[in-house]
Amino acid sequence: MSAGGWAGALLVAGLVALALAGDDVSGYRFDAQDTEHALEGPSAAHWMGADALGRDLFARVAEGGRVSLLVAIGSTAVAMLIGIVYGAVSGYVGGRLDGWMMRAVDAVYSLPDVLVIVLLTEVFHGVLDAVPDLYRRLLALVLALGLVGWVSVARLVRGLILQAREEAWVEAARAVGVRGPRMLLRHILPNVSGPILVTATLRVPSAILAESIVSFIGLGIQPPFSSWGVLASDGFAAMRSYPHLILFPGLAILVSLFALHLLGESLRERLDPRQRS
Amino acid sequence: MTRGRRGGLARARIRRIRVWAAVALLAAACRPLGGEPPPGELRINLGTEPPSLDWALATDGTSFLLLEQLMRGLTRMGPDLRPQPALAERWEVSDDGLVWTFHLRRDVVWSDGVPLEAEQFVRGWRRLLSPQTAAEYAYFLYPVKNARAFNAGEIDDPSAVGVRARDRHTLEVELEAPLVYFPSLTTFMVTFPGRLDLVERYGVDWTEPEHFETLGAFVLEEWRHEYKIVLRANPKYYGPPPSLERVTGYMVDMDSTALVLFEQGLIDIVRLPALEIRRFRGRPEYRTLPLLRGYYYGFNTKLPPFDDVRVRRALAHAIDRREFPKVLQGGELPSGSWLPPGMPHHNAAIGLPFDPERARALLAEAGVDASTLPPVRIVYNTDQTHKLVAESVQAQWRENLGLAVELENREWKVFLKELVSRPPPIYRLGWGADFPDPDNFMNLFTSSSANNHTGWSDARYDRLVAEASRELDPARRQVLYDRAQRILCEEEVPIIPFFVTSLNLAVAPRVHGFEPNAMDIYFLDSVSVR
Amino acid sequence: MIRYTAARLLQAIPVLLVVATVTFALLRLLPGGPFDREKALPPVILANIEARYHLDEPVARQYARYLAGLVRGDFGPSYKYPGRDVADILRDSFPVSIQLGAAALVLAMLLGVGAGLAAGMRAGTLQDRAIIGLTLLGISVPSFVLGAALVLGVALRFGWPPAGLWESPAYALLPALTLAAFPTAYIAQLTRTSVIEVAGRDFVRTARAKGVSEARVRWVHVLRNALLAVVTYFGPLLAMLLTGSFVVEQIFAIPGMGRFFVTAVTNRDYPLVMGVTLVYAALIVLSNLAVDLVYGWLDPRIRLAGDES
């Protein structure tokens, strides 16, 4: 892997560690209020400053990161799962079914992302009655983001499988009697796992970005949880007097996206044979 | 090669510096352009698009603000928030309090030259009440005889509604029951006279600038939807002509963006975001004032343990209202009484004070052990302010009573539905005055009110509020409202009033004669710009 | 060519029908209704309003009514703005979104292709790496952060350009820059990849060997192929601009369609949500078609299926 890739991987690892251990690193609980120090800028005591209730912004960014990363990874998993199954079936079965399935993908593809995410989030939030209130919104967002993201995965997987079907080793496997799902699961999918992994890595940053956008316009993550997008949105309202409130959540999104892209691109160079130059 | 390259780099650097210098110069040159305000024009931020300027259909603050400039009613709110003569130069009420007679000015014409007639009120009110119009605020005229029945479709004949033109300039209104504050009601936009000829000719487009005819100090010049509305001084206005030639109302919905535009000199009056208030405090641009807008927590009094009045009182005693302005920083005014300061018949002595000792004693008396009680649920609609208040309440009840509190938020529409279908144990709501009469606030918690989600009803309270709405003598009215308020805020406590919201504005120095008031009404006909 | 275009346009109809159906179904699943208010409405009045908008009919009937309206080009009334049709609202706001999007697209094309060429021609150098780093940054910065930075660092520091509103071309500067960041970076990456790829191909080497001047090789072959790559991704590019426009229109108080969508969802203004979604979907479908046509024109090797002539 390239130097950039290692740098990306390291940054990602660092961010995940921070998100997991935020409270312990800063020494403040993310919801501990201290009105004495409300709205103070960065200092030795509060590395990123404090918010309107005197909560430590570093701890809040770490806590927000936990939610942002969780939603992004969860939704990527949903998107990958649906996309791989759909794309594999479409590509492997082929024929008329393939045609219809791809027509459906085209229709979904022409839906504007953010609109659909917003709508789906509201719908899932209403429909998932059985889930405890506290987690309903989170789950709704995960599902909504996942349901929007699977389309490109399905296209990619179908393309890979169509390509693989023509190759000599598949012919060889078929000659010794390997057929159907066994062929797909045991032989073809493992062989195209590289590009799929790359796509998964690159889906995570776009999910983080989409979540932050939806949360910024007030339709995403809701209290008591906050995410980087929520923190940035709160900070935006006070950016004239207290720029640190938007600076640090904004930086968190920027650095995580940057790191994940670095990692993804370098993985792509390594794992995706079509891209190797 | 190397030398040449380096030379190129240096040249490039110089070029870059030149470019930046040019950009900076351009910026400097354009600065006065951005800061030079158009003479005679006031630019304000409306925040949102008025859903409609049809005063029979309008329900929101933005429409109200604009219609105050564009239209007049029988009466108009004065700076002291008492109704004053407007289109009606005087009025009298019959001895039984049932028939009001309004005498209209004879010199009023609409902006298209059509004279004002009493018949225009009659038609306007019938339209408001007609079921086909489906006006949300039709209930404002329910005190008028047969108005409710006509609106509900129980009566088909519009002439049965108790409003008549006795002649061209005399309007007679018959009420269902006496109502002392009727002249306050007629300041409200839904009671303005109607131009049904325009409504019929242009259909829903009659409020567009090319068709809209009004009779206030300003007329509608331009309306770019979801962006801006431009008003122009009305040369046919019957009152003293306004000093402003033009008013532009932008619809910038993010207060932070509006503030930046204020600082760039592009907007003259903006609302301050809570966290920016501290920076403006002490500056001449800063204006603040408590509004007639109450913020309270309600109990579902059908759910244990809140069916026990002692528990409700204990929770009220365990709130230190002084915390709220500290947390919200918006100049909130703590108030334990439901009638807000500034409202006639307000009484500052009413309300349960902060007293943790008493609160614990009351809980013990009710046999409630806070440590074994399942967590108390507070539900609020998603919003930064409501969240901060809820977090503060959570901390206070935990500290003062040892009570575990869970916070839940809902999206606005979901929250409203829930309030009606299955009211949460504890919920937050606010109430802003539609007109500055105590009845507008007190009526909220009567048994028949659609806005009473507490499940609490009290025949004594209902009777007091009804009686007060008919009482002409201010001193006796005060006694009635004091009694009702004590039941509401001290004895039965279905709600805990928290505070009154404040107005926080930044007003550019070029603006003169702008006096904010507790109803947040802008009287722009008396404003001028440098 | 015409037959192909017509065939593709016909294919777009079922796609839009699916979009309309899915959106309609989703909207009816949303909790809360359009007329729930803080100041509760008496049931009589609520019934009046619901009857007026046919909300008291069975959902299937409402759906049929909506589709029938669509065929006539009628998007229905807006619930939130009595007296305004959804079509009116779209007519006012769509051009604004398009102007903003076009300004951002032009900016992104100029900057992106320029940066991509600058990087690709000198692949592997410091300049290349710096540009790669910048493009990664451009892809990683959320629009609200960039917008805030531009407002604080430029608009307030110099008093100009305006940090909001939509009065003259100067007002488009900051929002277009904000919106252009992501596509610029994306286009730069595409251009760079394509330049590197093309530069290594036989026909470029042949051209060089034949003595065609270096400048000509660069500009004609490399640029043409780079543009081809960019055009291929025009669909996703447009989607990016649309996605970004929600936030940018919000931050800079621009009266475009994105702003309407957000408020329409919270207000449960069903017809308005439907209208905005359909317009966006149609835009994406049409731009995909346009891309295919332009692609065929730029690269004659590709024969359009169904194009007999």
Chain C positions in Cβ-Cβ contact with residue B265 (cut-off 8 Å)? 159
Average pLDDT, chain B: 89
What is the CATH code for B289-503?
A: 3.10.105.10
Domain map (residue ranges) of chain B: 2-67+200-287+505-529, 75-195, 289-503
Judge whether A273 is closer than 8 Å to chain B, CB to CB.
Answer: no
Q: Which residues of A touch C143 (CB under 8 A)?
A: 213
Residue C188: pLDDT band with limits 50, 70, 90: very high
Instruction: Give the domain extent around C57.
Output: 19-71
Confidence of residue B130 (pLDDT cuts 50, 70, 90): very high
B381-417 pLDDT, tens digit per residue, is 877 789 889 989 998 999 899 998 988 877 776 788 8
Percent of chain A at pLDDT above 90?
Answer: 26
Residues C57 and C115 in one domain: no
Residues B501-524 have a mean pLDDT of 92
> Is A240 in contact with B256 (Cβ distance < 8 A)?
yes
Residue B342 has pLDDT above 90, yes or no: no
Do C67 and C111 belong together in one domain? no
- Region B344-362: what's the mean pLDDT? 95
pLDDT value for C268: 82
Half-sphere exposure of B478 (CA within 13 A, CB side): 11
Query: Average pLDDT, stretch B170-177?
Result: 96
Angle subtended at Cα C66 by Cα C60 and Cα C67, rounded to the nearest 5 degrees: 95
A contacts of B326 (beta carbons < 8 Å):
35
Asked if residue C78 belongs to a domain, the reply is no
* Confidence band, pLDDT 50/70/90 cuts, at residue B235: very high
In this complex, the residue of B57, B207, B224 whose CB is nearest that of residue C255 is B224
Give the nearest partner residue to B416 out of C36, C80, C166, using CB atoms: C36
Q: What is the overall mean pLDDT for chain A?
A: 85
Element (DSSP H or E) covering residue B464? helix B459-470
User: Is residue B422 over pLDDT 80?
Assistant: yes
Task: Using a CB–CB cutoff of 8 Å, tell me whether A111 touches chain C.
Answer: yes
Gyration radius from chain A CA atoms:
22
Q: Which residues of A touch C262 (CB under 8 A)?
A: 118, 217-219
Q: For the residues C23-52, what does the mean pLDDT come to? A: 75
pLDDT of residue B374: 87
Number of residues that make up chain C: 309
HEC readout, B75-142: EEECCCCCEEECCEEEEEECCCCCEEEEEECCCCECCCCCECCHHHHHHHHHHHHCCCCCCHHHHHHC
**How much is the pLDDT for B1?**
34
Return mean pLDDT, chain C: 83
Query: Rounded to an integer, what distance in angstroms lies between the CA atom of residue B321 and that of residue B325?
Result: 8
Question: Which residue among A224, A234, A240 sits closest to B260, beta carbon to beta carbon?
Answer: A240
CB pairs under 8 A between B and C: 148
A36 touches chain B (CB under 8 A): no
Model confidence over A129-147: pLDDT tens digits? Answer: 788 766 888 899 999 999 9
Question: What integer pLDDT is reported at residue B424 of this predicted model?
Answer: 94
Closest chain B residue by Cα to residue C88? B225
A132 touches chain B (CB under 8 A): no
pLDDT at B486 > cutoff 90 = yes
| pLDDT given for residue A127 in this prediction | 82
Residue B42 has pLDDT above 90, yes or no: yes
Give a yes or no: residue C13 inside a domain: no
pLDDT of B35: 53
Domain presence at residue C87: no
Q: Which residues pair with B233 in a beta bridge?
A: B218
Q: Does C31 touch chain A (CB under 8 A)?
A: yes
Q: Is residue C3's pLDDT more than 50?
A: yes
Asked if C79 reaches chain B (Cβ–Cβ under 8 Å), the answer is: no
B2-67+200-287+505-529: CATH superfamily: Periplasmic binding protein-like II (3.40.190.10)
Q: Which of B295-299, C237-241, C275-279 has the lowest mean pLDDT?
A: C237-241
Q: In this structure, are residues C163 and B264 in contact, taking their beta carbons and an 8 Å threshold? A: yes
Q: Answer yes or no: do C251 and A236 touch at CB < 8 A.
A: yes
User: B41-45 and B246-250: which strand pairing?
Assistant: parallel
Please check the confidence at residue B148 and state whether its pLDDT lies above 50: yes
Position A273 scores a pLDDT of 61
Cβ–Cβ below 8 Å for B411 and A122 = yes
Confidence of residue B4 (pLDDT cuts 50, 70, 90): very low
The partner residue sitting opposite C144, judged by closest CB among A109, A210, A232, is A232
Cis ω on the peptide bond leading into residue B305 (within 30° of 0)? Answer: yes
- Nearby residues of A96 by Cβ (< 8 Å), 6 or more positions away: none
Residues in C touching A118 (Cβ below 8 Å): 261-262, 265
A3-19+55-275 CATH: 1.10.3720.10
H or E element, residue C18? helix C2-29
Chain B residue with Cα closest to C257: B226
* Confidence band, pLDDT 50/70/90 cuts, at residue C38: low
A204-234 per-position pLDDT tens digit: 999 999 999 989 887 888 766 889 999 998 8
Dihedral sign from CA coordinates of B271, B277, C155, C258: negative
Q: Where are the domains of chain A?
A: 3-19+55-275
Q: What is the CATH number of domain B75-195?
A: 3.90.76.10
A261 touches chain C (CB under 8 A): yes
Contact B152 C161 (CB under 8 A): no
pLDDT of B286 > 80? The answer is yes
Say if A53 is an interface residue toward chain B (CB within 8 Å).
yes
pLDDT in tens, C123-178: 888 999 999 999 999 999 999 999 999 999 999 999 889 999 999 899 999 999 99
The answer to whether B30 contacts C42, with C-beta atoms less than 8 Å apart, is no
Beta-carbon separation of A118 and C262 below 8 A: yes
- At residue C34 the predicted structure's pLDDT band, cuts being 50, 70 and 90, is confident
How many whole angstroms separate alpha carbon C10 and alpha carbon C23? 21
Query: How would DSSP label each residue in chain A?
Result: --HHHHHHHHHHHHHHHHHHHHHHHHSS-TT---GGGTT--S-SSSTT-B-TT--BHHHHHHHHHHHHHHHHHHHHHHHHHHHHHHHHHHHHH-HHHHHHHHHHHHHHHTS-HHHHHHHHHHHHHHH-TTS-HHHHHHHHHHHHHHHHHHHHHHHHHHHHHHHHHTSHHHHHHHHTT--HHHIIIIIIHHHTHHHHHHHHHHHHHHHHHHHHHHHHTTSS--TT---HHHHHHHHHHTTTT-THHHHHHHHHHHHHHHHHHHHHHHHHHHH-GGG--
**Does the distance separating the beta carbons of A123 and C26 come in below 8 Å?**
yes
Interchain CB contact of A129 with B (< 8 Å): no
pLDDT given at position C306: 40
Does residue C47 sit in the same domain as residue C194? no
Question: What pLDDT does residue C242 have?
Answer: 77
Range from A9-13, A180-184, B293-297 carrying the lowest mean pLDDT: A180-184
Mutate: best of A133, A219, A246, partner B, most B CBs <10 A: A133
φ/ψ of B55, rounded to 5, equals -70, -10
Compare CB distances from A222 to B279, B326, B409 and report the shortest one's residue: B409
pLDDT on residue B48:
83
By the CB < 8 Å criterion, does A227 face chain C? no
Backbone angles phi, psi at B445, to 5 degrees: -110, 20
Instruction: Name the amino acid, one letter, at B322.
Output: R
Predicted confidence band of residue B348 (pLDDT cuts 50, 70, 90): very high
- Percent of all residues in chain C with a pLDDT value above 70, rounded to a whole number: 90
| Distance between CA atoms of residues A65 and A249, nearest Å | 9
Instruction: Tell whether C57 is within 8 A of chain B (Cβ).
Output: no
The reported pLDDT for the residue numbered B11 is 47
pLDDT tens digits, C229-271: 788 777 778 877 877 788 899 899 998 888 888 778 877 888 8
Distance CA B232, CA B196 (A): 23
* Whether residue C300 sits in one domain with residue C197: yes
C-interface mutation test, from A136, A217, A277, most C Cβ less than 10 A away:
A217
Task: Name the domain count of chain C.
Answer: 2
Neighbours of chain C (3+ CB pairs under 8 A): A, B
Listed range (B143-147, B314-318, C68-72) with the worst mean pLDDT: C68-72
- Give how far C5 is from chain B: nearest CA, Å: 36
Mean pLDDT, residues C11-27: 86
Residue B515 neighbours by CB under 8 Å, 6+ apart: B79, B523, B526
B463 confidence band (pLDDT: 50, 70, 90) = very high
Q: Evaluate if residue B33 carries a pLDDT over 50.
A: no
Record: contact C84-B33, CB cut-off 8 A: no
The tens digit of pLDDT for each residue in C83-115 reads: 678 898 898 889 999 999 999 999 999 999 999
pLDDT of residue C122: 85
Contact B51 C82 (CB under 8 A): yes
**ipTM associated with this complex:** 0.86
pLDDT for the residue B196: 95
Interface test with B, best of C28, C29, C36 (most B CBs within 10 A): C36
- Indicate if C45 and C162 belong to the same structural domain: no
Q: Does pTM top 0.90 for this prediction?
A: no
